[in-house]
Amino acid sequence: MEILLLGTGSADGWPSPFCGCASCAAAQGNVRGQTAALVDQTLMLDCGPEAPRAAVRAGHTLKHVRHILFTHGHPDHVGPAALLFRHWADRAEPLDLVGPKEALDQCRDWVGPADLVRFLEVEPGDSVDLVSERGAYRVQVLEAAHPSVLGGGAVLYDVSRGSHRLLWATDTGPLPAGTHAAIAGAGFDAVFLEETFGNLRGHNAGHHDLESFPRTLAQLRESGAANAATEVVAVHLSHYNPPPNELAEILRGWGARAGADGEIMKLGQGDSQGAGAASRTLVLGGVRSGKSVHAEELLAAEPAVTYLATGGSGRDDPEWAARVELHQGRRPAAWRTAETVEIAELLRTATIPILLDCLGTWLTARIDLREAWDGGPIELVEEDMRELVAAWRACPARAVAVSNEVGSGVVPATASGRLFRDLLGKLNSQMAAESEQVVLVVAGIPVPLRG
Ligand SMILES: [Zn+2]
Ligand SMILES: [Zn+2]
Protein backbone atom coordinates (compact mmCIF):
# COMPACT_ATOMS: atom_id res chain seq x y z
CA MET A 1 0.00 0.00 0.00
CA GLU A 2 1.17 3.48 -0.82
CA ILE A 3 -0.29 6.33 1.17
CA LEU A 4 -0.18 9.98 0.21
CA LEU A 5 -0.99 12.28 3.10
CA LEU A 6 -3.16 15.01 1.59
CA GLY A 7 -3.45 16.86 4.86
CA THR A 8 -2.34 16.36 8.45
CA GLY A 9 -3.97 19.35 10.15
CA SER A 10 -7.09 20.06 12.15
CA ALA A 11 -10.16 21.75 10.66
CA ASP A 12 -8.47 25.17 10.88
CA GLY A 13 -5.07 23.72 9.98
CA TRP A 14 -1.70 24.60 11.46
CA PRO A 15 -0.74 27.43 11.35
CA SER A 16 -4.28 28.57 12.00
CA PRO A 17 -4.99 31.32 9.42
CA PHE A 18 -6.21 34.05 11.76
CA CYS A 19 -3.96 33.25 14.71
CA GLY A 20 -0.83 34.93 15.98
CA CYS A 21 0.31 32.53 18.70
CA ALA A 22 3.87 31.28 19.15
CA SER A 23 2.98 27.81 17.90
CA CYS A 24 1.50 29.21 14.68
CA ALA A 25 4.54 31.46 14.19
CA ALA A 26 6.87 28.47 14.62
CA ALA A 27 4.84 26.43 12.13
CA GLN A 28 5.12 28.99 9.34
CA GLY A 29 6.30 27.46 6.10
CA ASN A 30 5.17 24.07 7.39
CA VAL A 31 1.51 24.23 6.40
CA ARG A 32 -0.85 21.47 7.49
CA GLY A 33 -4.26 21.39 5.84
CA GLN A 34 -7.34 19.38 6.73
CA THR A 35 -6.55 15.74 7.40
CA ALA A 36 -7.12 13.31 4.52
CA ALA A 37 -5.17 10.61 2.71
CA LEU A 38 -5.06 8.88 -0.66
CA VAL A 39 -4.27 5.15 -0.70
CA ASP A 40 -2.79 3.59 -3.86
CA GLN A 41 -4.32 6.54 -5.80
CA THR A 42 -7.58 4.60 -5.50
CA LEU A 43 -9.06 4.97 -2.05
CA MET A 44 -9.52 8.27 -0.23
CA LEU A 45 -9.70 8.51 3.52
CA ASP A 46 -11.86 11.56 4.16
CA CYS A 47 -12.32 14.24 1.55
CA GLY A 48 -12.75 17.68 3.03
CA PRO A 49 -12.84 20.80 0.87
CA GLU A 50 -9.03 21.12 0.82
CA ALA A 51 -8.21 17.51 -0.08
CA PRO A 52 -8.63 17.58 -3.91
CA ARG A 53 -6.39 20.61 -4.35
CA ALA A 54 -3.84 19.14 -1.93
CA ALA A 55 -3.58 16.10 -4.21
CA VAL A 56 -2.96 18.27 -7.26
CA ARG A 57 -0.45 20.47 -5.44
CA ALA A 58 1.46 17.35 -4.41
CA GLY A 59 1.69 16.43 -8.09
CA HIS A 60 -0.97 13.72 -8.09
CA THR A 61 -4.33 13.15 -9.69
CA LEU A 62 -7.60 11.89 -8.29
CA LYS A 63 -8.68 10.37 -11.59
CA HIS A 64 -8.06 6.82 -10.30
CA VAL A 65 -10.14 7.27 -7.15
CA ARG A 66 -12.81 4.55 -6.88
CA HIS A 67 -13.70 4.66 -3.18
CA ILE A 68 -14.07 7.53 -0.74
CA LEU A 69 -14.38 6.70 2.97
CA PHE A 70 -15.82 9.45 5.13
CA THR A 71 -15.36 9.24 8.89
CA HIS A 72 -18.09 11.71 9.80
CA GLY A 73 -20.00 14.72 8.59
CA HIS A 74 -17.91 17.58 9.97
CA PRO A 75 -17.07 20.07 7.22
CA ASP A 76 -13.31 19.49 7.34
CA HIS A 77 -13.96 15.85 6.38
CA VAL A 78 -16.77 16.20 3.83
CA GLY A 79 -16.37 18.58 0.91
CA PRO A 80 -19.09 17.29 -1.42
CA ALA A 81 -18.28 19.75 -4.23
CA ALA A 82 -15.47 17.35 -5.14
CA LEU A 83 -18.19 15.09 -6.59
CA LEU A 84 -19.30 17.85 -8.93
CA PHE A 85 -15.69 18.48 -10.01
CA ARG A 86 -15.44 14.76 -10.80
CA HIS A 87 -18.69 14.92 -12.79
CA TRP A 88 -17.35 17.87 -14.81
CA ALA A 89 -14.29 15.75 -15.60
CA ASP A 90 -16.62 13.13 -17.19
CA ARG A 91 -15.35 10.30 -15.03
CA ALA A 92 -17.35 7.28 -16.13
CA GLU A 93 -15.87 4.75 -13.68
CA PRO A 94 -17.95 3.66 -10.70
CA LEU A 95 -17.31 5.34 -7.36
CA ASP A 96 -18.13 4.10 -3.85
CA LEU A 97 -19.00 6.62 -1.18
CA VAL A 98 -18.71 4.97 2.22
CA GLY A 99 -19.59 6.59 5.53
CA PRO A 100 -22.14 7.22 8.22
CA LYS A 101 -25.53 8.60 7.15
CA GLU A 102 -24.67 12.12 8.26
CA ALA A 103 -21.73 12.28 5.86
CA LEU A 104 -23.39 10.60 2.89
CA ASP A 105 -26.53 12.73 3.07
CA GLN A 106 -24.39 15.80 2.38
CA CYS A 107 -23.11 14.20 -0.84
CA ARG A 108 -26.38 13.15 -2.48
CA ASP A 109 -27.19 16.47 -4.18
CA TRP A 110 -23.71 16.74 -5.70
CA VAL A 111 -23.86 13.58 -7.80
CA GLY A 112 -25.07 13.69 -11.42
CA PRO A 113 -28.05 11.45 -12.31
CA ALA A 114 -25.96 9.29 -14.64
CA ASP A 115 -22.89 9.07 -12.40
CA LEU A 116 -22.14 5.52 -11.29
CA VAL A 117 -21.97 6.37 -7.61
CA ARG A 118 -22.80 3.80 -4.98
CA PHE A 119 -23.74 5.04 -1.50
CA LEU A 120 -22.69 2.62 1.25
CA GLU A 121 -24.06 3.74 4.58
CA VAL A 122 -22.08 2.09 7.37
CA GLU A 123 -21.98 1.88 11.11
CA PRO A 124 -19.52 0.46 13.63
CA GLY A 125 -19.19 -3.31 13.32
CA ASP A 126 -19.82 -3.39 9.56
CA SER A 127 -17.25 -4.69 7.18
CA VAL A 128 -17.18 -3.87 3.51
CA ASP A 129 -15.22 -5.23 0.55
CA LEU A 130 -14.29 -2.59 -1.99
CA VAL A 131 -13.10 -3.93 -5.31
CA SER A 132 -12.02 -2.33 -8.54
CA GLU A 133 -9.59 -3.37 -11.28
CA ARG A 134 -6.98 -1.43 -9.30
CA GLY A 135 -7.23 -3.62 -6.21
CA ALA A 136 -9.37 -5.05 -3.44
CA TYR A 137 -9.73 -3.61 0.02
CA ARG A 138 -11.35 -5.00 3.13
CA VAL A 139 -12.70 -2.25 5.35
CA GLN A 140 -13.79 -2.73 8.96
CA VAL A 141 -15.86 0.05 10.41
CA LEU A 142 -15.00 1.07 13.98
CA GLU A 143 -16.68 3.29 16.51
CA ALA A 144 -15.08 6.69 17.12
CA ALA A 145 -15.35 8.76 20.28
CA HIS A 146 -16.31 11.94 18.48
CA PRO A 147 -19.57 13.80 18.97
CA SER A 148 -21.55 14.18 15.78
CA VAL A 149 -23.67 17.19 15.02
CA LEU A 150 -26.38 15.88 12.76
CA GLY A 151 -26.78 12.32 14.03
CA GLY A 152 -25.30 9.38 12.18
CA GLY A 153 -22.21 9.04 14.31
CA ALA A 154 -18.53 9.13 13.61
CA VAL A 155 -16.48 6.13 12.60
CA LEU A 156 -12.85 5.07 12.09
CA TYR A 157 -11.53 2.63 9.50
CA ASP A 158 -9.39 -0.47 9.58
CA VAL A 159 -8.34 -0.91 5.94
CA SER A 160 -6.41 -3.86 4.57
CA ARG A 161 -5.16 -4.86 1.17
CA GLY A 162 -3.41 -8.22 0.90
CA SER A 163 -1.08 -8.53 3.86
CA HIS A 164 -0.99 -4.78 4.56
CA ARG A 165 -3.25 -3.07 7.01
CA LEU A 166 -3.73 0.46 8.34
CA LEU A 167 -5.82 2.18 10.97
CA TRP A 168 -7.35 5.55 10.12
CA ALA A 169 -8.23 7.05 13.49
CA THR A 170 -9.42 10.62 13.08
CA ASP A 171 -11.44 12.26 14.57
CA THR A 172 -11.62 10.58 17.93
CA GLY A 173 -10.85 10.87 21.60
CA PRO A 174 -9.60 7.85 23.57
CA LEU A 175 -10.97 4.85 21.69
CA PRO A 176 -14.13 3.08 22.89
CA ALA A 177 -13.57 -0.37 24.42
CA GLY A 178 -15.37 -2.01 21.49
CA THR A 179 -12.93 -0.45 19.04
CA HIS A 180 -9.91 -1.68 21.01
CA ALA A 181 -11.47 -5.16 21.08
CA ALA A 182 -12.19 -5.14 17.33
CA ILE A 183 -8.58 -4.40 16.38
CA ALA A 184 -6.72 -6.37 19.09
CA GLY A 185 -3.89 -8.33 17.55
CA ALA A 186 -4.19 -6.51 14.20
CA GLY A 187 -0.47 -5.67 14.02
CA PHE A 188 -1.15 -2.69 11.76
CA ASP A 189 1.60 -1.61 9.39
CA ALA A 190 0.55 1.98 10.04
CA VAL A 191 -1.65 3.76 12.55
CA PHE A 192 -2.84 7.28 11.79
CA LEU A 193 -3.91 8.59 15.14
CA GLU A 194 -5.25 12.05 15.64
CA GLU A 195 -3.62 14.40 18.14
CA THR A 196 -5.58 17.61 17.89
CA PHE A 197 -5.26 19.36 21.19
CA GLY A 198 -1.58 19.14 22.15
CA ASN A 199 -1.09 20.93 25.44
CA LEU A 200 -4.73 21.96 25.86
CA ARG A 201 -6.61 20.17 28.63
CA GLY A 202 -10.22 20.30 29.71
CA HIS A 203 -11.49 20.32 26.12
CA ASN A 204 -14.66 18.34 25.52
CA ALA A 205 -12.89 15.09 24.60
CA GLY A 206 -13.77 13.98 21.07
CA HIS A 207 -10.08 14.46 20.30
CA HIS A 208 -6.71 13.42 21.69
CA ASP A 209 -4.17 15.63 23.40
CA LEU A 210 -0.57 14.99 24.43
CA GLU A 211 -1.74 13.22 27.57
CA SER A 212 -4.34 10.91 26.04
CA PHE A 213 -2.46 10.21 22.77
CA PRO A 214 0.36 8.15 24.37
CA ARG A 215 -2.17 6.30 26.55
CA THR A 216 -4.18 5.26 23.53
CA LEU A 217 -0.94 4.21 21.87
CA ALA A 218 0.08 2.18 24.92
CA GLN A 219 -3.31 0.40 24.76
CA LEU A 220 -2.86 -0.33 21.05
CA ARG A 221 0.56 -1.84 21.82
CA GLU A 222 -0.80 -3.76 24.78
CA SER A 223 -3.50 -5.40 22.64
CA GLY A 224 -1.17 -6.14 19.74
CA ALA A 225 -3.05 -3.75 17.43
CA ALA A 226 0.31 -2.01 17.12
CA ASN A 227 3.72 -3.61 17.46
CA ALA A 228 7.39 -2.67 17.14
CA ALA A 229 7.12 -2.52 13.34
CA THR A 230 4.01 -0.31 13.27
CA GLU A 231 4.51 3.18 11.93
CA VAL A 232 2.59 5.56 14.17
CA VAL A 233 1.71 8.87 12.54
CA ALA A 234 0.04 11.75 14.37
CA VAL A 235 -2.48 13.62 12.23
CA HIS A 236 -5.22 16.28 12.65
CA LEU A 237 -2.61 18.52 14.31
CA SER A 238 -3.41 22.01 15.49
CA HIS A 239 -1.72 25.03 17.03
CA TYR A 240 -2.51 23.77 20.51
CA ASN A 241 0.61 21.70 19.98
CA PRO A 242 4.07 23.00 20.88
CA PRO A 243 6.22 24.20 17.94
CA PRO A 244 6.81 21.45 15.35
CA ASN A 245 10.40 20.65 16.42
CA GLU A 246 9.33 20.23 20.06
CA LEU A 247 6.35 18.12 19.06
CA ALA A 248 8.68 15.94 16.97
CA GLU A 249 10.86 15.29 20.03
CA ILE A 250 7.85 14.38 22.18
CA LEU A 251 6.45 12.01 19.55
CA ARG A 252 9.86 10.43 18.98
CA GLY A 253 9.91 9.32 22.61
CA TRP A 254 6.67 7.46 21.89
CA GLY A 255 7.90 5.80 18.72
CA ALA A 256 5.63 8.09 16.72
CA ARG A 257 6.01 11.07 14.44
CA ALA A 258 3.94 13.84 12.95
CA GLY A 259 2.69 13.32 9.42
CA ALA A 260 3.52 15.99 6.85
CA ASP A 261 1.28 17.23 4.06
CA GLY A 262 2.31 15.77 0.71
CA GLU A 263 4.32 12.96 2.28
CA ILE A 264 4.20 9.50 0.69
CA MET A 265 4.50 6.34 2.79
CA LYS A 266 5.02 2.83 1.49
CA LEU A 267 3.74 0.24 3.94
CA GLY A 268 5.72 -2.81 4.87
CA GLN A 269 9.09 -1.14 4.39
CA GLY A 270 9.60 -1.11 8.13
CA ASP A 271 11.16 2.26 8.86
CA SER A 272 9.36 2.40 12.17
CA GLN A 273 11.31 4.06 14.95
CA GLY A 274 10.84 1.02 17.16
CA ALA A 275 9.43 2.21 20.45
CA GLY A 276 10.47 -0.10 23.22
CA ALA A 277 13.84 -0.96 21.69
CA ALA A 278 16.66 -0.90 24.22
CA SER A 279 18.16 2.54 24.49
CA ARG A 280 19.21 4.74 27.38
CA THR A 281 18.13 8.31 28.03
CA LEU A 282 19.53 10.51 30.79
CA VAL A 283 17.27 13.43 31.73
CA LEU A 284 19.02 16.22 33.62
CA GLY A 285 17.49 19.31 35.13
CA GLY A 286 17.43 21.67 38.07
CA VAL A 287 14.91 21.58 40.89
CA ARG A 288 11.33 21.94 39.52
CA SER A 289 12.60 22.16 35.95
CA GLY A 290 10.04 19.61 34.77
CA LYS A 291 12.63 16.83 34.40
CA SER A 292 10.51 14.11 36.07
CA VAL A 293 7.45 15.07 34.04
CA HIS A 294 9.53 14.93 30.88
CA ALA A 295 11.00 11.53 31.80
CA GLU A 296 7.52 10.13 32.46
CA GLU A 297 6.30 11.62 29.19
CA LEU A 298 9.09 9.84 27.30
CA LEU A 299 7.70 6.48 28.43
CA ALA A 300 4.01 7.36 28.31
CA ALA A 301 3.31 5.24 25.22
CA GLU A 302 4.81 2.07 26.73
CA PRO A 303 2.17 -0.44 27.87
CA ALA A 304 4.13 -1.28 31.05
CA VAL A 305 6.98 0.41 32.88
CA THR A 306 8.91 -0.35 36.06
CA TYR A 307 9.38 2.81 38.04
CA LEU A 308 12.44 2.62 40.27
CA ALA A 309 11.78 5.08 43.06
CA THR A 310 15.10 5.62 44.75
CA GLY A 311 13.89 8.34 47.07
CA GLY A 312 12.39 6.06 49.71
CA SER A 313 8.80 6.44 50.79
CA GLY A 314 9.50 9.57 52.81
CA ARG A 315 8.21 8.14 56.06
CA ASP A 316 10.17 10.74 58.04
CA ASP A 317 9.57 13.71 55.76
CA PRO A 318 5.99 14.79 55.02
CA GLU A 319 7.06 17.23 52.27
CA TRP A 320 8.97 14.50 50.46
CA ALA A 321 6.07 12.07 50.94
CA ALA A 322 3.70 14.59 49.37
CA ARG A 323 5.97 14.92 46.33
CA VAL A 324 6.21 11.14 45.96
CA GLU A 325 2.43 10.93 46.08
CA LEU A 326 2.12 13.60 43.40
CA HIS A 327 4.54 11.68 41.18
CA GLN A 328 2.61 8.46 41.73
CA GLY A 329 -0.71 10.09 40.89
CA ARG A 330 0.67 11.21 37.53
CA ARG A 331 1.72 7.74 36.44
CA PRO A 332 -0.60 5.31 34.60
CA ALA A 333 -2.00 2.45 36.68
CA ALA A 334 -0.13 -0.15 34.63
CA TRP A 335 3.23 1.13 35.88
CA ARG A 336 4.87 -0.95 38.60
CA THR A 337 6.74 0.85 41.33
CA ALA A 338 9.83 -0.63 42.99
CA GLU A 339 11.01 1.40 45.95
CA THR A 340 14.62 0.43 46.38
CA VAL A 341 18.17 1.66 46.14
CA GLU A 342 19.46 -1.78 45.06
CA ILE A 343 18.86 -0.99 41.41
CA ALA A 344 21.85 -2.48 39.60
CA GLU A 345 20.37 -5.99 39.50
CA LEU A 346 16.98 -4.63 38.37
CA LEU A 347 18.65 -2.77 35.51
CA ARG A 348 20.66 -5.80 34.40
CA THR A 349 17.62 -8.07 34.29
CA ALA A 350 14.94 -5.66 33.06
CA THR A 351 12.38 -7.09 30.64
CA ILE A 352 10.18 -3.99 30.35
CA PRO A 353 11.15 -0.30 30.16
CA ILE A 354 12.54 1.29 33.32
CA LEU A 355 12.22 4.77 34.72
CA LEU A 356 14.85 5.55 37.34
CA ASP A 357 14.01 8.67 39.36
CA CYS A 358 16.44 9.86 40.47
CA LEU A 359 20.21 9.48 40.65
CA GLY A 360 20.50 12.20 43.31
CA THR A 361 18.40 10.37 45.88
CA TRP A 362 20.10 7.08 44.98
CA LEU A 363 23.49 8.68 45.61
CA THR A 364 22.33 10.16 48.92
CA ALA A 365 21.16 6.72 50.02
CA ARG A 366 24.46 5.09 49.03
CA ILE A 367 26.49 7.71 50.91
CA ASP A 368 24.23 7.10 53.94
CA LEU A 369 24.69 3.35 53.66
CA ARG A 370 28.48 3.61 53.41
CA GLU A 371 28.56 6.23 56.20
CA ALA A 372 30.73 8.32 53.91
CA TRP A 373 29.41 11.81 54.64
CA ASP A 374 32.10 12.91 57.08
CA GLY A 375 35.36 11.60 55.79
CA GLY A 376 34.07 8.02 55.55
CA PRO A 377 35.03 5.57 52.80
CA ILE A 378 34.21 7.34 49.55
CA GLU A 379 35.85 4.50 47.61
CA LEU A 380 32.90 2.25 48.47
CA VAL A 381 30.45 4.82 47.11
CA GLU A 382 32.54 5.14 43.98
CA GLU A 383 32.43 1.38 43.63
CA ASP A 384 28.62 1.55 43.90
CA MET A 385 28.64 4.19 41.17
CA ARG A 386 30.76 1.99 38.90
CA GLU A 387 28.40 -0.93 39.44
CA LEU A 388 25.40 1.29 38.61
CA VAL A 389 26.98 2.61 35.41
CA ALA A 390 27.90 -0.94 34.32
CA ALA A 391 24.32 -2.11 34.97
CA TRP A 392 22.99 0.91 33.04
CA ARG A 393 25.17 -0.02 30.09
CA ALA A 394 24.00 -3.65 30.25
CA CYS A 395 20.28 -2.88 30.65
CA PRO A 396 18.49 -4.99 27.99
CA ALA A 397 15.31 -2.83 28.02
CA ARG A 398 14.64 0.80 27.29
CA ALA A 399 15.70 2.92 30.26
CA VAL A 400 15.25 6.53 31.31
CA ALA A 401 17.14 7.97 34.29
CA VAL A 402 16.51 11.34 35.92
CA SER A 403 19.20 13.34 37.66
CA ASN A 404 19.74 16.75 39.18
CA GLU A 405 22.02 19.20 37.48
CA VAL A 406 23.63 20.64 40.62
CA GLY A 407 26.99 21.93 39.49
CA SER A 408 25.99 25.39 38.29
CA GLY A 409 24.67 26.83 41.57
CA VAL A 410 26.62 28.45 44.38
CA VAL A 411 29.31 26.40 46.10
CA PRO A 412 27.58 24.47 48.91
CA ALA A 413 28.40 25.80 52.37
CA THR A 414 29.03 22.41 53.93
CA ALA A 415 31.59 19.70 53.27
CA SER A 416 28.82 17.15 52.82
CA GLY A 417 27.11 19.43 50.29
CA ARG A 418 30.34 19.73 48.32
CA LEU A 419 30.90 15.96 48.47
CA PHE A 420 27.41 15.33 47.10
CA ARG A 421 27.80 17.90 44.33
CA ASP A 422 31.14 16.48 43.25
CA LEU A 423 30.03 12.84 43.28
CA LEU A 424 26.77 13.56 41.47
CA GLY A 425 28.60 15.60 38.82
CA LYS A 426 30.88 12.63 38.27
CA LEU A 427 27.99 10.15 38.19
CA ASN A 428 26.05 12.30 35.70
CA SER A 429 29.06 12.38 33.37
CA GLN A 430 29.57 8.64 33.60
CA MET A 431 25.89 7.92 32.98
CA ALA A 432 25.79 10.41 30.11
CA ALA A 433 28.75 8.68 28.50
CA GLU A 434 26.72 5.45 28.42
CA SER A 435 23.45 7.02 27.18
CA GLU A 436 22.25 7.22 23.59
CA GLN A 437 20.20 10.30 24.47
CA VAL A 438 20.95 13.03 26.99
CA VAL A 439 18.44 15.81 27.62
CA LEU A 440 18.62 18.92 29.78
CA VAL A 441 15.22 20.22 30.90
CA VAL A 442 15.08 23.97 31.45
CA ALA A 443 11.82 25.76 32.30
CA GLY A 444 9.87 22.70 31.20
CA ILE A 445 11.55 22.65 27.78
CA PRO A 446 13.73 19.63 26.96
CA VAL A 447 16.99 20.63 25.31
CA PRO A 448 18.66 17.68 23.60
CA LEU A 449 22.36 17.45 24.43
CA ARG A 450 22.88 14.16 22.58
CA GLY A 451 20.81 11.94 20.28
ZN1 LIG B 1 -11.75 17.03 11.95
ZN1 LIG C 1 -14.77 16.27 13.59
Domains in the chain, ordered, with CATH?
2-266 (3.60.15.10), 280-450 (3.40.50.300)
**167 HSE (CA, 13 A, CB side):** 33
| Residue 149: per-residue pLDDT | 63
Ligand 1 centre to CA of 302 (Å) is: 27
Q: Check residues 330 and 404 and name the one with the higher pLDDT.
A: 404
> CA dist 135 to 45, 132, 160, 432, Å?
16, 5, 11, 51
CA distance 374 to 262: 64
Q: Are 77 and 34 in contact (CB under 8 A)?
A: yes
Per-residue model confidence (pLDDT) at position 147 = 87
| CA 170 to ligand 2 centroid distance, Å | 8
Ligand sitting nearest the alpha carbon of 35: 1
- What would the pLDDT profile of 96-117 be if each residue is shown by its tens digit? 999 999 999 999 999 989 999 9
pLDDT at residue 58 in the model:
93
Helices and strands in the chain, H and E counts: 13, 21
Is the per-residue pLDDT at 435 higher than 80?
yes
What confidence category does residue 152 fall into, taking pLDDT thresholds of 50, 70 and 90? Answer: low
Mean pLDDT of the chain: 92
What is the dihedral sign for C-alpha 284, 285, 288, 293?
negative
Pick the residue with more confidence: 376 or 269?
Answer: 376
Distance 11 CA to ligand 2 centre (A): 8
From the CA of 12, the nearest ligand is: 1
Known catalytic residues are 327
User: pTM of the full predicted structure?
Assistant: 0.85
Q: What is the mean pLDDT of residues 176-181?
A: 97
User: Among residues 165, 142, 174, 241, which one has the least CA distance to residue 1?
Assistant: 165
